[in-house]
Amino acid sequence: MALGAVSLAGCAKFRTARECGVFVSAIKTWQGQGAKPAGSVSSPASSGPLDSRALAERYEDLGRRIDALNLESAELSPRARRYQKLAREAAAALRDVAAAMERGDAESARKRRVEFDDLSRSEAPLVADINAVCR
């Protein structure tokens, strides 16, 4: 009985390690394909709606890539879902920034940009948590 429990724990660790490699590889590939770091979009006043929409699409792409991984690790999967949610929320904020700029609504653009910046700041602690699982 104890041997079975040890065996299952070993399988779970192996799955987590394998999925960590797949997850990290997917993120690095996404970054290497032209994604800008989260905080790299300049302020709405100096960045046009096309730039915001393009970056929003990049974050949507990241969300789709994470979804396609079909992660099952009990340790990694919830963290990857949070990362995916963060990417999708960032995309939504950037699309809203672009729409507000197109309407000439600087205040709405500014508010959503602040929300995007808050999302960007929440990425580092989540990445640290993922890295702790994937060591």
Q: What tens digit of pLDDT does each residue of 109-119 get? A: 999 999 999 99
Dihedral sign, CA of 24, 118, 96, 110? negative
What percent of the chain stands above pLDDT 70?
84
Q: What is the pTM of this model?
A: 0.81
CB 73 within 8 A of CB 15: yes
pLDDT at residue 132, as a whole number: 95
Cα–Cα distances (Å) from 85 to 39, 42, 88, 93, in that order, read 17, 23, 5, 12
Question: Is the backbone of residue 34 left (phi > 0), alpha (psi -120 to 50) or beta?
Answer: left
For residues 4 and 56, what is the distance between their CA atoms, to the nearest angstrom? 47
Q: How many domains does the chain have?
A: 1
CB 102 within 8 A of CB 112: no
Q: CA–CA separation, 18 vs 135, rounded Å?
A: 11
Please write the tens of the pLDDT for every residue from 81-90.
999 999 999 9
Structural domain range at position 13: 2-133
More confident of the two residues 4 and 28: 28
pLDDT of 21 higher than 50: yes
Q: What is the predicted pLDDT for the residue at 67?
A: 95
User: Cβ(58)–Cβ(74) under 8 Å?
Assistant: no
Residues 6+ away with beta carbon under 8 Å from 43: 113
Arithmetic mean of pLDDT, 9-27: 87
